[in-house]
A = this chain, B = another copy of it.
Amino acid sequence: MDFSINNSASNTLFQKIEQVRRRQGKVQDTHITLAHGSGGKAMRDLIDDIFVSNFDNPILSQLEDQASFNLSNLLQQGDRLAFSTDSYVVDPLFFPGGDIGELAVNGTVNDLAVSGAKPLYLTCSVILEEGLAVETLRRVAKSMKAAANKAGVQIVTGDTKVVHRGAADKLFINTAGIGVIPSGISISTQNIQPGDVVILNGELGNHGAAILVARGELALETDIQSDCQPLHNLIETILKACPKVHAMRDATRGGLATVLNEFALSSNVGIRLEEESIPVREEVKGICEILGLDPLYLANEGKLVVVVAKENADTVLSVMKSHPTGKDACIIGEVISSPPGIVLLKTVFESERIVDMLVGEQLPRIC
């Protein structure tokens, strides 16, 4: 079966190719070219150099077309698999308090965690614009790895596509994630009952405001940082203290108002908020006033809305406050039987108004 080389010309060619192959795969270019999306040598080097070396885990480094896991091991951690995905198109890529990479990990980690799942494995699929600086991609990959470490997840498989200059804006990331939901946990937007209490883990709108400021559209100097953070550990702590949480969601795009409207519609209940109990930073209020925005609709990337039976509210509030990600937790409203499907806000002036779902668009490309 051996291959015998018959002449010195092919022998030389052969040695040359061997040399190229054996060289550690390193990206030679400073900027992304279409070849990095070809499926060939340049793509393989990009994947090795940027993703495999940074994400660094044995499942990914096998570079099969799919990652695989033992189901019995998963079953030891719970009885249901949770599966979620989000694409991230945030502009700018880097902003105070985070970047697109950190967002792409935390966003999907949080979408899993709000079901009560322990997040375990993520995918990472990137769409790159020709001309993107390789250094930018490297920085984002390092940020994803740091966020994955913090959230206790592994990035196990992925994909790389490159489009012509002008066919995408710099870099889009998709992550999909799987996690395991422990037995006995049943969290759903359909579980909410009149009498329940609505708890929030802290200030609203910091992510939205940080992005606005980072875009330079406001001649403002502030120290507002995105609240981009993983919520899985706070959620685990809450569920240990109170496994019977009714509903839970992170308030991202569309803000608190959108989450609560979805709750109200899914469970066919009303929700009444107390405006004065909803924490919003003065700077965020200021930005909202200047731009005619409402903090209830501003995006967040580390804010948890928890709905629990009234008798469990004190317990949940107390464990949240003792956790770093929940130290500013507070009760912001209550669930009422009527009007079903409607969210009301009792304003600081003691009047009541309807908080509808977001109509139109506040801030495109916020996440």
Contact = CB atoms under 8 A, between A and B. Distances in A.
A357 to B, nearest CB: 4
Contacts of A258: 39-40
Given A121-B83, A163-B365, A66 B115 contact: yes
Contact of A41 (B121, B195, B357): B357
Contact of A89 (B41, B81, B127, B188): B127
Nearest to A66: B84
B66 A21 contact: no
A18 interface: yes
Contacts of A249: 65
A117 interface: yes
A71 B80 contact: yes
Interface stretch (A131-139, A168-176, A222-230, A283-291): A168-176
A248 B138 CA distance: 31
A174 B85 contact: yes
A153 interface: no
Nearest to A45: B357
A111 B249 CA distance: 32
Contacts of A78: 71
A348 interface: no
B174 A360 contact: no
A318 interface: no
A189 interface: yes
A209 interface: no
A218 interface: no
A272 B64 contact: no
Interface stretch (A92-100, A199-207, A321-329, A332-340): A332-340
Q: How many copies does the complex hold?
A: 2
Contacts of A3: 270, 272, 336, 338-339, 342, 344, 352
Contacts of A189: 63-64
B172 A169 contact: no
Given A14-B339, A86-B159, A66 B111 contact: yes
Say what secondary structure dominates the interface of chain A.
mixed
A267 interface: no
A14 B164 CA distance: 49
A156 interface: yes
A359 interface: yes
A340 to B, nearest CB: 9
Interface string A1-36: 111000000100110011001000000000001110
Given A83-B123, A83-B178, A354-B14, A40 B360 contact: yes
A104 to B, nearest CB: 11
A101 interface: no
A312 interface: no
The 7 closest A-B pairs by CB, nearest first: A40-B358, A39-B254, A39-B253, A176-B176, A66-B84, A85-B123, A174-B174
A216 interface: no
Given A1-B194, A89-B167, A89-B168, 7 more contacts: A3-B270, A10-B352, A17-B356, A21-B265, A63-B189, A66-B179, A68-B80
A180 interface: yes
A306 interface: no
Contacts of A178: 81, 83, 178
A69 B87 contact: no
